[in-house]
Structure 1
Amino acid sequence: MGQDEPVTRWFRSYWDEEDTWFYFEVSDDGWVNRQVELEGPALRPIVAASTEDDDARCGFTAEAPVTDWEGHVEEPLTLQNFEEIWAEARRHLTAPEA
């Protein structure tokens, strides 16, 4: 990989105060490109946001780079892990209401 190629990483982090799993795709500058939030024991999707997308039904990405965050534990994910969670959350959030 060349020096100029961006490095993307994927991880998840749990916030027990809200019983929410956060899944992130983060660029090499620390900014979140895509973000998924799964809430409660049923892991209900509440956010599946992208910086490239303005679909308000899917929520919004973090407003600060991960390098500014404190107190979170990163559990690494593969691209495939993230893509599976992303696809399911997007389907749930963009499905027509019955």
Structure 2
Amino acid sequence: MTRWFRAYWAEEDTWFYFEVDADGWVTRQVELAGPLEKPIAAASLAEWEAAQQAGTLRDYEATFGFTAEIAVHEWDAHEPQTLAAGEFETVWLTARAACQARARARSTHGI
């Protein structure tokens, strides 16, 4: 069963939004940083794996970041707040658009 939740890491001033599969592996992840909750990552495990196989992983991670590399039941000291699927999807779509816009700006300006 898929679950959605978010957790705040105060030391990084970052909200992490997660979509997690039945085994506790993160399938999609969003990171929002600072008081303005600026999107800094919106990664999909399936896309990350496809990029790795295609040899485009560097570009994918530069645009979207990556997902957590261990199952959520192995994490220490997180206090998850349950989300509805629609709440996660809204954050996901907004963050994806911001990551894509940032990547376009970098390529336009040769950064």
Give the number of equivalent residue pairs.
Answer: 92
Q: Is the helix fraction higher in 1 or 2? A: 2
Question: Take 2:33 and 2:80, find their aligned partners in 1: how far apart are those partners?
Answer: 17
Indicate the RMSD between aligned Cα atoms, in angstroms. 0.9
- Corresponding position of 1:71: 77
- Corresponding position of 1:93: 99
Question: Take 2:89 and 2:8, find their aligned partners in 1: how far apart are those partners?
Answer: 18
Q: Which runs of 4+ in 1 moved over 3 A?
A: none
Shift of 1:31: 0.2
**Structure 2: where are the runs of 5+ without partners?**
49-59
Identity %: 52
After superposition, what is the alpha-carbon deviation per residue over 1:55-84, rounded to whole angstroms, capped at 9, x for unaligned? 221000000000100100010000000000
Question: Take 1:38 and 1:85, find their aligned partners in 2: how far apart are those partners?
Answer: 9
- Corresponding position of 2:56: none
Matches within 5 A, 1:45-64: 45-54=39-48, 55-56=60-61, 57-64=63-70
User: TM-score, length-normalised on structure 2?
Assistant: 0.81
Q: Is the strand fraction higher in 1 or 2? A: 1
